[in-house]
């Protein structure tokens, strides 16, 4: 029923009903007060993401580039004298929503492929990953040795280590936007990105261990590295044995549960559980989310799917969640790029060399692709982005010392920040250019 | 392509691909470490909510009762000697997700009705709300005067004030589960619950002001109450003028934006923006979310809807989000009930009287329903639940003093906690019993 009076009544109506609807709760409610900065941040992030994304999508780019640039703008308005949004990136909760967003993204990407398909390109992924760790590391060593000949060789290796790990979020997102997740190139990139992330962490543990030993004048203990690998193995065995058993049976049992939303709730719980276990085992939570997607298969839940009024499968149910939360992650990544770092010529020169080392190093790794007819350049481009891992390595390095010398000083740290920003921003357009060309050929 | 080898290969495959996929990131990543408790909490909350909900749905109850009880169990395992989950209710982020969940719930409920429909029962809502504030307040006054004759009369009025505000979340959820949001009873309850929440807050401001003045021996300043109402009016005018203009035009303009997910993103931004503005004006953010739903109408976004591959409208797009986040809110509400409060006989006796006053007071308010053929009992039952507002009032009271006497002592506070728990738990079954009966009659 739509009343003909609706419009003229609108103002008095809302003053009468909702007016009265209003007044003072947040003022007395300490919890609600925390929510307000998050709400404002979400409005800005969502609108910025959609505007930026639409702009770049119209020019044939991946929307993720628009989201990153929207974040870059929102996070750097301080440079133009506007400081009202300076605290936006630190708002409580926005980081957690972003992290849940990237978990759901990797879960979705995992759902589009499965273990046998990943295994079919497993040898290539392993080779690409190994080369993708070794080449940037050696190049990073020489870059650092060239700029800072007075530093300890172990410090050069540490700089090399910051170049190792591919940030799988960016590439996964571009592949998903282009619907190329399940292509041979897509699977090799995803597998290799995950593997070289791991190798990078082993490298970190070894190099940091060697530095600590050198600083204390002790011998290096290999046991700590073994423990890292051992925990990871424990998780993986649990994921395979318990996870795939659960996936096969829990969804069937759950068919007996009354109520709506059982399928989505169970899928989310499965994703979060594996992400938690991965994290508890010392792995990245996104590795767990990706594994959950790989293990979970539509045959496991066809009865639950049939019960949904729209016969929706898990990817369809996840889509509104990723629409909401995934852009939060990428806008936040953009926000965290501090453009003021670009102001120093010395830093920029070293950053340019590091970025070149990072990009060239990952092109070398494409030689590891074994499949014929596969686009090696696309694989190499997909491996370029360095994300938070590089920054985390650098910040660990800044806490380490050899004698009186800081392993990662402020100049090197700033250069790593620039390298991460450049490799992140440069990848979406390059990958879109290469893969979109291939789709049409 | 499903390989016949899939099963026997599963174990070695995951050891080869994902194994390697694993290892040590969270250990070095301070951000990821914060995520882990949230992930574990979400797994427990989601599974608990679904199990509890399904159990109660099967017995013809509202699933929200099952979610509340699941929370009650998860939050009180400490009573049975298991303290592993004691910190669950305080995990960073879970409260924010719950609050976003209840915003989305009220947004959905608002979408199901509109301003003219709410206005059609506006007089009833206003009367019901006014009686629903006055009656429990007077009953609360006498309950307190009976149990604590030595207290100052203003302290008795304060206890009465804790009984005023209906918690709209519980009732909105039960109405949504029964698909009765748009019924006459549903609209009267929703309107009145929102209005009496407001009235309760004016009452709080007045009583707390009088107590403060009495304590300092000064006169009471009415200006602070006027300022509260003034800010609320400002918000409402802005919501009507800007909000309904925006709703009508922004969605049409947005049709030109490229990319997927424009409709959902815009709807979320609209909901969060009004919730933020409501909060900034001193109102409860859920009032803003509800207003956003009321204002937004399908005609405003039919072009955007037509562009969606599944032709989905906003309620359909919101559904996976509410499936994920709304139960988090209700489980958390259950978790916050501290059962150990039920241990004291003195507290329980006063709590029983308070609960009776709360329930009887809200049945009296049903006399305010003007529409013929409307189920007054259903309206009265729908107004029963007291939620966080009552607790917030009580905690404010515990910070106030008149001379040497605390306005809300620990016994009264505990009794209010029990009253909130009982009215919350008792409403879903009563409302389901009454409304489901009426649907079939």
The partner residue sitting opposite B35, judged by closest CB among A205, A285, A287, is: A285
Q: Which residue has the higher pLDDT, A378 or A343?
A: A378
Average pLDDT over residues B51-56: 87
ipTM of the complex: 0.78
Q: Which residue has the tokens 């990848």?
A: A427
Most confident of A63-67, A132-136, A225-229, B232-236: A132-136
A118 to chain B: which residues are within 8 Å by CB?
Answer: 13, 17
Classify residue A341 as exposed, middle or buried by CB count within 10 Å of its CB (0-12, 13-18, 19+): middle
Q: Which residue has the tokens 């976004």?
A: B301
Per-residue pLDDT at A264 exceeds 50:
yes
What confidence tens digit (pLDDT) does each residue in B323-374 have?
999 999 888 878 877 777 777 788 889 999 999 999 999 888 888 888 888 8
Question: What CA–CA distance (Å, rounded) separates A404 from A151?
Answer: 11
User: A79 vs chain B: nearest CA distance in angstroms?
Assistant: 26
Per-residue pLDDT at B15 exceeds 60:
no
What confidence tens digit (pLDDT) does each residue in B180-199 have?
888 888 888 888 877 776 67
What confidence tens digit (pLDDT) does each residue in A412-429 have?
888 887 888 888 888 888
Contact A10 B273 (CB under 8 A): no
Question: What CA–CA distance (Å, rounded) separates A240 from B170?
Answer: 40
A46 to chain B: which residues are within 8 Å by CB?
Answer: 265, 268-269, 272
The overall average pLDDT reported for chain B is: 79
B261 to chain A: which residues are within 8 Å by CB?
Answer: 50, 319-320, 323
Q: Binning pLDDT at 50, 70 and 90, where does residue A25 land?
A: very low
Q: How many CA atoms lie within 13 A of A54 on its CB side?
A: 17
Question: What CA–CA distance (Å, rounded) separates B435 from B119?
Answer: 22
Per the CB < 8 A criterion, the answer to whether A142 and A163 are in contact is: no
Question: What are the helix (H) ranges across A383-409?
Answer: 388-397
The partner residue sitting opposite A50, judged by closest CB among B3, B17, B265, is: B265
Bridge partners for A353 per DSSP: none
Question: What CA–CA distance (Å, rounded) separates B158 from B390?
Answer: 11
Cα–Cα distances in angstroms (integers) from residue A217 to residues A213, A252, A397, B184, B266, in the given order: 6, 58, 18, 80, 60
Most confident of A170-179, A279-288, A340-349: A170-179
Q: Which residue has the higher pLDDT, A221 or B288?
A: B288
Question: What CA–CA distance (Å, rounded) separates A72 from B149?
Answer: 63
Q: What is the pLDDT of residue B190?
A: 84
Q: Binning pLDDT at 50, 70 and 90, where does residue B437 land?
A: low
B244 to chain A: which residues are within 8 Å by CB?
Answer: 10
What confidence tens digit (pLDDT) does each residue in A389-410 have?
677 677 777 778 888 888 888 7
Residues 6+ apart with CB under 8 A from A419: A162, A163, A351, A354, A355, A358, A386, A390
**Residue B319: which of A317, A259, A270 has the closest Cα?**
A317
């Amino acid at each position: 029923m739509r009343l003909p009076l609706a419009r003229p009544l609108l103002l008095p109506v809302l003053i009468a009903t909702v007016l009265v609807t209003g007044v003072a709760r947040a003022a007395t409610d300490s919890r609600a007060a925390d929510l307000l900065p998050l709400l404002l941040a979400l409005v800005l992030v969502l609108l910025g993401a959609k505007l930026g994304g639409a702009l770049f999508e119209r020019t044939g780019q991946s929307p993720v580039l628009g989201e990153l640039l929207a974040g870059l703008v929102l996070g750097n308005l301080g440079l133009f004298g506007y400081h009202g949004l300076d605290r936006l990136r630190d708002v409580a909760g926005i980081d957690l929503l972003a992290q849940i967003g990237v978990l759901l993204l990797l879960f979705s990407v995992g759902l589009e492929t499965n273990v046998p398909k990943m295994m079919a390109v497993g040898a290539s992924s392993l080779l690409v990953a190994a080369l993708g760790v070794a080449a940037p590391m050696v190049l990073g060593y020489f870059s650092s040795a060239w700029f800072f000949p007075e530093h300890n060789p172990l410090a050069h290796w540490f700089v090399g280590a910051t170049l190792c790990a591919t940030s799988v979020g960016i590439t996964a997102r571009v592949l998903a936007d282009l619907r190329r997740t399940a292509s041979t190139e897509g699977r090799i990139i995803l597998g290799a990105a995950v593997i070289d992330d791991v190798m990078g962490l082993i490298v970190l543990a070894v190099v940091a261990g060697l530095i600590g030993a050198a600083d204390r004048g002790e011998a290096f203990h290999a046991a700590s590295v073994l423990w890292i690998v051992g925990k990871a193995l424990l998780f993986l065995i649990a994921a395979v044995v318990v996870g795939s058993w659960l996936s096969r049976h829990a969804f069937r049992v759950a068919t007996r549960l009354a109520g709506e939303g059982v399928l989505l709730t169970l899928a989310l719980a499965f994703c979060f559980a594996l992400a938690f276990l991965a994290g508890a085992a010392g792995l990245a939570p996104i590795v767990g989310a990706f594994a959950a997607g790989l293990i979970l298969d539509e045959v496991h839940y066809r009865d639950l799917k049939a019960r949904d009024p729209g016969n929706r499968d898990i990817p369809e149910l996840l889509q509104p969640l990723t629409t909401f939360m995934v852009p939060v992650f990428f806008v936040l990544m953009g926000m965290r790029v501090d453009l003021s770092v670009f102001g120093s010529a010395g830093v920029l020169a070293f950053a340019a060399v590091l970025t070149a080392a990072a990009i060239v190093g990952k092109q070398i790794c494409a030689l590891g692709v074994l499949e014929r007819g596969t686009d090696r350049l696309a694989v190499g481009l997909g491996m370029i982005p360095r994300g938070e891992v590089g920054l985390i390595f650098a910040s660990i390095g800044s806490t380490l010392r050899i004698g009186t010398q800081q392993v990662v000083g402020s100049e090197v740290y700033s250069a790593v920040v620039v390298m991460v920003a450049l490799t992140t921003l440069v990848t979406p357009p390059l990958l879109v250019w290469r893969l979109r060309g291939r789709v049409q050929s």
